[in-house]
A and B are shown apart, each in its own frame.
Chain A
Amino acid sequence: MRWFKLLLSAAISLLLIWALNRPWGTMPFAIGEFINPFTGFWQNAEPANLQAGGQLSIPGLKAPVTVVYDNRRVPHIFAQNNDDLYFAQGYVMARDRLWQMEFQILGASGRLTEILGVGPDSSILKFDRTNRRKGLVYAAERSYEFAQNYPEVMDAAEAYANGVNAWISSLKPADLPLEYKILNYKPQPWTSFNTWILQKYLSNMLAARADDIRNTNALMVWGRNVFDILYPEFAYAEDPIVPADTRWDARTANPKPPVPAEYKPDSILKKPASAFLPQPDPGLGSNNWAVAGSKSVTGNPILSNDPHLGLSLPSIWYEMQLHAPGVNAYGVGFPGGPGVVLGFNDSVAWGSTNAGMDVMDYYRVISDEKEEKYFFDGEWRPFTLRLETHTIKGGEAFVDSVKYTHYGPVIFDENFGSQPLPLAINWMAHEQSVDMLFFLKMNRAKNYHDYEEALKYWVCPAQNFVFASRAGDIAIWQMGKYVNKWPQQGRFVMDGTQSVYQWSSFIPSDQQPHSLNPERGFVSSANQHPTSSVYPYYYNGGFEDFRNRRLNQLLSEKEKYGVDDMKNIQLDNYAVFVADILPLMMQEVDTSGFTQMQREAWNLLKAWDYNYDRDQAAPTIFENWWEELYRNIWQDEMDAVGLPVPWPDRSTTIGILRDSAAFTFYKDATDSLKKDRKSLINRSFDRITGKLANDFPSISEWIWSRHKQTDIHHLARVFAPFSRLNIPTNGSGHILNATGNRNGPSWRMVVALGDKVEAWGVYPGGQTGNPGSKDYDAFIDDWANGKYYRIWFMNNKDQDNGSEAARLSMIPEVKTNPN
């Protein structure tokens, strides 16, 4: 009996400990480990009155470094040399954002299965395979090799990595960021190579736009005439980045290469392809501009920038000041890389928007039976094989062998995307480059000349870099390496067997779209066409057609602009898009048979000033109506194709609606009530008012912010409580205040140059990535309410304006000599 009791008790004890020490079901963590207050999640419950200061002795530093944290937890780093500066930057970024830094790198290098497994329906493995097959790691390796020639960059990345590793090695299990504890894995040592992966992550986010496959499908299905109507290269109204009246000297321009003699883009694929990569969200866009001293109330240039990116927690940006001999820069940077990316120093300010250029082209490859060689200019060339090993949590490794041509990797073939004819990509992100040098040089730039010098290093992703200097210059350059293309080159899948289809030469960098001190007194960009059609080179891409017109209009209205004007422009909610189409839509509606509720909705639209204010119902009514109308025009035809084809964009649709009361695509074979513009518009209005009334009985429930739902998700979507959902915001993607459902202004910045630089900024997140800290989402409400923080730009480490919250002294660890 006693034996029995003992054995029973021992068995229960062991079973309990065993059960608490292993993951169960979908929970990746062990309960005992996760829940105990000494090493588990309780350790991440950051005390509300955290003091980040103190004194630390750290191996690897050359001289003492002071980090002043202000009351928004922004570190102001004061170092005595560049190595220490980037070391300390790596250290403080890792301290606040380690998990995010590593997670982004794992994502970009296609290694998420290592920590998450293959995911539902193998979705995570597919994501990883896509990134590997796009050659992101291959691209990073090539650039990393190239960067060895640029010690300035290599040293910064090495010092940064050393700083990150100094932080990692100081961590005990209890100190690990929460996500490691939940997902139950450990950080790996950080390498300088990761910074190159980060650069390619940006290219993948911003320069992977390539609709070649879908365009080719559309061309094959509809023929050239219809294709040109559905996908025109210029919209009905354009206000390009470089003022339209700028003259380009066609004589100094390199001639366009000739169009290949037998160019038939509709016969390169035997049949339309079913494989294609998801295209970047159209909400990814940005605004930037600078007004000259002559147009500013301060008499000095004022620069503004608000990059619109996918919103996430932790935020893509980290705010900081970097001070060392020869540099004093402030702004935001990417967790994972050295330097300030968007910001200012005592002499200049800079910002960027995405160029939207198509710099990824597809080539159809003909391979031999054994799939070892491909045909090119009359001979067989061997593929280079790259074996991509996917380590999978809780499973066996998966090996994907990716064939490389001289263009780049074969992304789709029978093994991936069920594509019978292999498709290879040639992508500017694969070019060797040291783009990061642009940031390091801008951090130290004194004038326009330094800016021009820094631009030379920027290859991909192509950006519109706006610039302003204390000396009074304002400028904008669209920078990135561009192919000198023959007309339409790269719009459709090309023939990979002939050299005439290859990229042959590049546009000389001094002839890229740019504008320096234009007469109108401002430079601006909002992801629109960089130039008018008189630009001597051919380019294609995805360009925004609405925000730019509003921006340039607002910047032309007044004699002089102050800082508040700049903020008001960033927060402007007026929709050019609505002004372009709603009057026509309303004019077509037959109001005679209106219900009470339709009448109410109608009156709201009539009284509307086209501002997307969060508490208005009119934007909700319009957006629903437009969506319904847009779907009613295109959906039946697009669905009938049964293959990926691009949907015509909004401005094209508006252009067609305005020009044509009747159009083949208006008709619907299954719905006799839809036959022309008038019937479509009426029918869609009836439908959406019915649907809205059904979903929300009272019009007061139709307010825009509730309909739009701005959600900022945690980077790993699985943790709902770490996200901030349903944030009430104004604006929409096609509006200057481009706050949508999941995208929006990821950093709003206004910099007034002068003897004393003054700046304001805010981003939708918080400095720390710890969901257990009150600072995790500290800026979101102010951001949503259109507030800005006055930036504390320090001159020296002992300056005090009452904003200092903590001071961290980092001292080189001296190895004591025994004896």
Chain B
Amino acid sequence: MKFTIRVICIFGLGYLATLWFPWWSVAAVGFAVGLLLSEKRKRRRLFGKQPTPPRTFLAGFLAVFLLWGVFAFWADWQNHSLLSEKISRIVVPEGNIFLSRAWIMILVTAIVGGLAGGFSTMTGNLLGEMVRGQEKD
């Protein structure tokens, strides 16, 4: 449940932030959501849920991956892939037909955004756990 909430929060707030702030504001959002939605670190269980850091990373990654991917896809679809095709030929060395495709640009966009979102959310969460964890100790 927490996972879905994180994804939704980062997606929504990330979208709002990029309307006014530079691209990296999406990472700031990830960090903030990770921090605020963190909880006291639980003792590691042998079975059951995975430890938190990878899961929060995944939440941040997925949120921004979807956010950037969906908007890039939408722009590309309206544009009939005219520009992404050209940009892919600037970015990717000549001759690689497999890479000179519009969807690769969408995928690269989404992954770059996802990585920025994932790491920042994980960082926020780790910091939050530490702060909360220390409160109790």
Q: Which of A's residues lie within 8 Å of B, judged by CB?
A: 2-3, 5-6, 9-10, 12-13, 16-17, 20-21, 31-33, 35-49, 178, 182, 719-722, 771-774
Contacts and interface: CB of A to CB of B under 8 A. Distances in A.
Contacts of B18: 36, 38-39
A690 to B, nearest CB: 30
Given A32-B112, A32-B116, A772-B83, A45 B126 contact: no
Chain A at the B interface: mostly helix, strand, loop or mixed? helix
B86 interface: yes
Contacts of A42: 71-72, 75-76, 83-84, 109
A118 B19 CA distance: 36
B89 A721 contact: yes
Nearest to A12: B119
Contacts of B24: 17, 20-21, 32
A774 B82 contact: yes
A5 B116 contact: no
Contacts of B84: 42, 45
Contacts of A17: 24, 27, 116, 120
Interface string B14-33: 00001100111011000100
A773 B82 CA distance: 7
A720 B109 contact: no
5 contacts: A13-B119, A21-B23, A32-B116, A719-B90, A721-B90
Contacts of A771: 83, 86
B116 A46 contact: no
Contact of A13 (B82, B112, B123): B123
A5 B53 contact: yes
B78 A45 contact: yes
A388 B112 CA distance: 43
B28 to A, nearest CB: 9
Contact of A38 (B19, B41, B112, B130): B19
Given A12-B119, A37-B109, A32 B130 contact: no
B79 A6 contact: no
B99 interface: no
Interface in B104-137: 108-109, 112-113, 115-116, 119-120, 122-123, 126-127, 129-130, 133
Contacts of B26: 36
Q: Which of A5, A13, A43, A47 has the most CB of B within 10 A?
A: A13
A36 B109 contact: yes
A46 B53 CA distance: 40
Contact of B22 (A5, A33, A720): A33
Contacts of B31: 13
A91 B112 CA distance: 36
A17 B129 CA distance: 23
Contacts of B86: 721-722, 771-772
A10 B123 contact: yes
Contacts of B123: 6, 9-10, 12-13
> Nearest 7 A-B pairs (CB), nearest first?
A772-B83, A45-B79, A37-B71, A721-B86, A47-B78, A36-B23, A721-B89
A49 B76 CA distance: 13
Nearest to A770: B83
Contacts of A35: 108-109, 112-113
Contacts of A720: 89-90
A36 B68 contact: yes
